[in-house]
């Protein structure tokens, strides 16, 4: 098993559609940490730690429809010097209802934590 970790990534999350694919992400988030593990069966699992919304509505991920949906997540790898090779992507992402939300009572800022599974990934 291989584990990949990115600190402070900005993730663009798209709804995965075969017909009429989305051009713009439905939500953009910034996370404290993104961890992805490649399993022995060539499938992927991972977690997004302490993320918050920059654009869109991350609450959809916690709804019944959001849990049943499939996603594509993209981000840029800041450690890659060649900007033509720094885009990372995972497809077939499902959150399986494991998205938790917490709100700061003073500021109202909402942060989330999520675990996911994915079918395909471009991590290098």
Q: What is the pLDDT of residues 41-89, one digit of tens each?
A: 878 999 999 999 999 988 888 888 888 889 999 998 777 666 666 788 9
CA–CA separation, 4 and 35 (whole Å):
6
Neighbours of 24 (CB within 10 A): 9
Does position 21 have pLDDT exceeding 80, yes or no? no
Note the pLDDT of residue 42. 74
Encoded tokens for 102? 């917490």
31 confidence band (pLDDT: 50, 70, 90): very high
Per-residue pLDDT at 71: 92
The mean pLDDT value of the chain amounts to 86
Burial class of residue 109 (count of CB atoms within 10 Å of its CB; 0-12, 13-18, 19+)? exposed
pLDDT at 83: 66
Extract the tokens encoding 59. 């609450």
Give this prediction's pTM. Answer: 0.85
Closest CA to 46 of 33, 30, 35: 35
- What pLDDT does 14 receive? 93
Residues 6+ apart with CB under 8 A from 88: 6, 74, 75, 76, 77, 121, 122, 123
Where residue 23 falls among pLDDT bands split at 50, 70, 90?
A: confident
Categorize the per-residue pLDDT at 32 as very low, low, confident or very high, splitting at 50, 70 and 90. Answer: very high
């Amino acid at each position: 098993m291989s584990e990949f970790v990115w600190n402070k990534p900005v993730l663009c999350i798209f709804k995965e559609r075969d017909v009429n694919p989305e051009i713009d992400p439905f939500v953009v988030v910034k996370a404290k940490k993104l961890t992805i593990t490649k399993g022995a069966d060539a499938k992927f699992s991972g977690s997004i730690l302490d993320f918050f919304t920059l654009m869109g509505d991350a609450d959809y991920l916690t709804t019944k429809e959001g849990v049943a949906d499939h996603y594509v997540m993209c981000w840029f790898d800041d450690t890659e010097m060649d900007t033509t090779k720094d885009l990372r992507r995972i497809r077939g992402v499902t959150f399986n209802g494991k998205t938790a939300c917490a709100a700061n009572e003073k500021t109202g800022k909402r942060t989330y934590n999520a675990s996911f599974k994915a079918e395909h990934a471009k991590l290098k």
